[in-house]
Amino acid sequence: MAGTITEKIIKEHIVEDIAAKIAPGDEVALKIDQTLTQDATGTMAYLQFEAIGIPRVRTEQSVSYVDHNTLQTDFKNPDDHRYLQSIARRYGLQFSRPGNGICHQLHLERFACPGKTLIGSDSHTPTAGGIGSFAIGAGGLDVAVAMAGMPYRIKYPKIVGIKLTGKLQDWVSAKDVILEVLRRIDVKGGVGTVLEYFGPGVKTLSVPERATITNMGTETGATTSVFPSDEVTKAFMVAQERGNQWIPLEADADVEYDELIELNLSEVEPLVALPHSPGKIKPVSEIAGLEVQQVAIGSCTNSSLSDLKIVANILKGHTIADNMHLTINPGSRQVVEHLIESDEMRYLVAAGARILENSCGPCIGMGGAPSSHAVSVRTFNRNFEGRSGTKDAQMYLVSPEVAAATAIKGVLTDPRDLGECPKIEMPQRFIINDNMFIRPLPAGESAKVEIIRGPNIKPLPDFQPLPDTLAGEVLIKVEDNITTDHIMPAGAKILPLRSNIPAISEYVFEAIDPEFPRRALEKGGGFIIGGDNYGQGSSREHAALAPKYLGVKAVIVKSFARIHLANLINFGIVPLTFKDPADYESIDLADKLEVIIGELQGDVKLRNRTKNNEIELTHSLSQLDAEILKTGGKLPWVKAKVVK
């Protein structure tokens, strides 16, 4: 039988007996080859891994990166980094020191392999799909469980084939390709799917270009995105001195996809995502001339060597506009070393760019905030309201070419107006310097390592089994497309609290209702009511863990985003949906509810004591999900399994 890339990788990694034919939506358990964490999610993931109680990671490759919390304004972040380094030494992980680079760029360069499964405690882990990995973003607890050698469970996805033909024109880039995909399917169109790229246009794209596309496929809600592994992939891996890890991997010629999207690369034009959604797409030419105060180039989407080479050569001989503030954060030290070697770093500096650390930086609100009411044009992947650190700023997402042209002109600029497009030359061999990775210790030595814990690292909360009936008030009612940034903000003030759940819980729903934490504690917990696509965006499990600490018992919405749904299950918060979405209108803030969940094997009844009525709720929980929830969450469930 003909197979897609997705089917081939899943078939090789399923670890439990399965039916002869799997249908989309069926639960499958996969062996995980690789994991990654970053420091904003990693501290909690490793606290959870410690709690499981095994002596060493059981994956082929696990890497702990430090790339988020690098703005060290006090002891909290550096203390966390010392904890992470000691954990890596103790349990057999690679450790990437602060300043080495952004986890997804580094993993693409040094570790990702075609045909391997990878889960990471960051929603943009699908970046590695550009090299042919089956790479999925997940909550930190799921990553901890995978490091313990247990399978990772997903709903078997629909496989959407995206057939690429043609070749990108000058001034058009891979970022425009994924913006075009978002223009067609929006931020919910990929839910429950894998976006699998194929066709003759694939061979015109480099691995970093493919990785840009798979990185931002996350914004469609897709489980992951994946490209074939071909001679282009092989050339990239050989240049990274990893040619021995390459394997060919592509879909069979006569394969049939569940859905098909055809995209002619020759017809793609420079695009822009308007505030405040990555799915709000227009051609740059339609809004060119908009005055811009800040341009920010980098992030895990667009910080590769090829991205910054084109930016450097566009900026060469120019000075940024008088009204302009330009920041650039390279994705890795390898990128920086090449820019220095080729003298292209000089072009960036001479043009007036601020060269920031090799980290996530402004993308997550960790420095680089724009001024009040500013328009900021960014090569990032998200433009949610307030994510930049400035609530009233307007964020526009664009390609590196558009960003560089805009920095020169001071207004949003179609780069095709600049004339001839610069040509760049990529190295035949990359500079390999892995001295900022600390390698795992042998098992005998690692057992002697002492774990270093700073005072900001607090123990995990307790997770108790769930009763058959949940009772409480509606603590908040929110609209459609609530992001994890709305639920649990990031930024320089809050990110350092990621290993301190009592402290970070004080900021839950800060941008929507600052009184929520106080009210939740006073009421002894209760319920959240929401609309469609609740929990889209980042994989941050704190958006479930902090509400759990505040006593949230269930979240009742029209629909959930995939990773947040899994995180709610992991931490014992019951995720329920309205059987009839119109019932959303019948529930108000402070209504007193009883939700009879029983064993969660069928539909659920909600009694509204305030309105004196009943409505039906439903869920997408498997029998195992229900078992995990009733146990109190995944951590007590896994610990029980490990003890057995």
pLDDT at 16: 75
263 and 386 share one domain:
no
3-state helix, strand, coil in the chain (%, to 5): 35, 20, 45
Q: Is residue 58 part of a domain?
A: yes
Q: Following DSSP, what letter does each residue of 339-356 receive, concatenated?
A: HHHTTHHHHHHHHT-EE-
249 and 313 share one domain:
no
Half-sphere exposure of 330 (CA within 13 A, CB side): 24
Q: Has 252 been annotated as catalytic?
A: no
| Burial class of residue 72 in the structure, from the number of CB atoms within 10 Å of its CB (0-12 exposed, 13-18 middle, 19+ buried) | middle
Find the mean pLDDT for residues 604-630.
Answer: 95
Q: Has 122 been annotated as catalytic?
A: yes
Alpha-carbon torsion angle 528, 531, 535, 541, nearest 10: 20
Please tell me whether residue 177 adopts helix, strand or coil conformation: helix
Is the predicted pLDDT of residue 256 greater than 70, yes or no?
yes
Q: Has 382 been annotated as catalytic?
A: yes
pLDDT at 375: 97
Q: Has 67 been annotated as catalytic?
A: yes
Task: Look at residues 323, 344, 300, 326 and name the one whose alpha carbon lies nearest to residue 404.
Answer: 326
Q: Which of 234, 267, 300 is the last residue of a domain?
A: 267
Residues 6+ apart with CB under 8 A from 60: 33, 34, 116
Is the predicted pLDDT of residue 641 greater than 90, yes or no?
no
42 and 98 share one domain:
yes
Find tokens 């009184």 and name the residue: 515
How many angstroms separate the CA atoms of 423 and 85, rounded? Answer: 41
149 and 29 share one domain:
yes
Q: 540, 542, 562, 619: which one is catalytic?
A: 540
Q: What is the CATH number of the domain that holds 555?
A: 3.20.19.10
399 and 478 share one domain:
no
Q: 399, 505, 538, 559: which one is catalytic?
A: 538
Q: Is residue 154 part of a domain?
A: yes
Where would I find the beta strands (DSSP E) of 450-502?
469-477
548 and 587 share one domain:
yes
pLDDT 10s digits, 369-381: 999 999 999 999 9
Q: Is residue 464 part of a domain?
A: no
Question: Which token pair is 381?
Answer: 């992947």
Rg (CA), the chain: 24
Q: Is residue 456 part of a domain?
A: no
Q: Has 540 been annotated as catalytic?
A: yes
Q: 33, 62, 64, 67: which one is catalytic?
A: 67
505 and 624 share one domain:
yes
Q: What is the CATH number of the domain that holds 133?
A: 3.30.499.10
Helix (H) or strand (E) holding 296: strand 294-298
Phi then psi dihedrals of residue 45, to 5 deg: -60, -40
Q: Is residue 194 part of a domain?
A: yes
| Cα angle value 321/173/185 (rounded, 5°) | 110
**What is the number of domains present in the chain?**
3
Half-sphere exposure of 367 (CA within 13 A, CB side): 20
Q: Has 399 been annotated as catalytic?
A: no
Number of H helices, E strands in the chain: 22, 26
Q: Which of 252, 267, 282 is the last residue of a domain?
A: 267
Terminal Cα distance for the chain, rounded: 39
71 and 203 share one domain:
yes
pLDDT 10s digits, 48-63: 999 898 999 999 999 9
| Cα angle value 296/297/302 (rounded, 5°) | 145
Is the predicted pLDDT of residue 644 greater than 90, yes or no?
no
pLDDT at 20: 57
Range of the domain at 331: 271-416
205 and 304 share one domain:
no
Q: Is residue 425 part of a domain?
A: no
Full 3-state SS string of 23-92: CCCCEEEECCCEEEEEHHHHHHHHHHHHHHCCCCCCCCEEEEECCCCCCCCCCHHHHHHHHHHHHHHHHC
Question: Which token pair is 65?
Answer: 């990166």
Conformation bin of residue 403: beta by default, left when phi > 0, alpha when psi is -120 to 50 = alpha
Confidence of residue 638 (pLDDT cuts 50, 70, 90): confident
pLDDT at 281: 97
Please tell me whether residue 328 adopts helix, strand or coil conformation: strand
Where would I find the beta strands (DSSP E) of 387-443?
394-397, 437-438
Taking residue 252's Cβ as centre, other Cβ atoms within 10 Å add up to: 13
User: What are the distances in angstroms from CA 602 to CA 232, 341, 598, 620?
Assistant: 49, 63, 9, 9
Find the mean pLDDT for residues 300-305.
Answer: 97
List the strands of the sheet with 224-226, edge to edge. 224-226, 193-198, 158-165, 259-264
Alpha-carbon torsion angle 95, 99, 102, 105, nearest 10: -90
Q: 33, 62, 64, 68: which one is catalytic?
A: 68
Q: Which of 72-81, 191-200, 339-348, 519-528 has the lowest mean pLDDT?
A: 72-81
377 and 511 share one domain:
no
pLDDT at 642: 66
On whether the CB atoms of residues 390 and 371 are closer than 8 A, the answer is yes
394 and 513 share one domain:
no
505 and 357 share one domain:
no
Confidence of residue 19 (pLDDT cuts 50, 70, 90): low
Q: 33, 79, 80, 122: which one is catalytic?
A: 122
Q: Is residue 446 part of a domain?
A: no
Q: Which of 351, 381, 416 is the last residue of a domain?
A: 416
Q: Is residue 66 part of a domain?
A: yes
Taking residue 449's Cβ as centre, other Cβ atoms within 10 Å add up to: 15
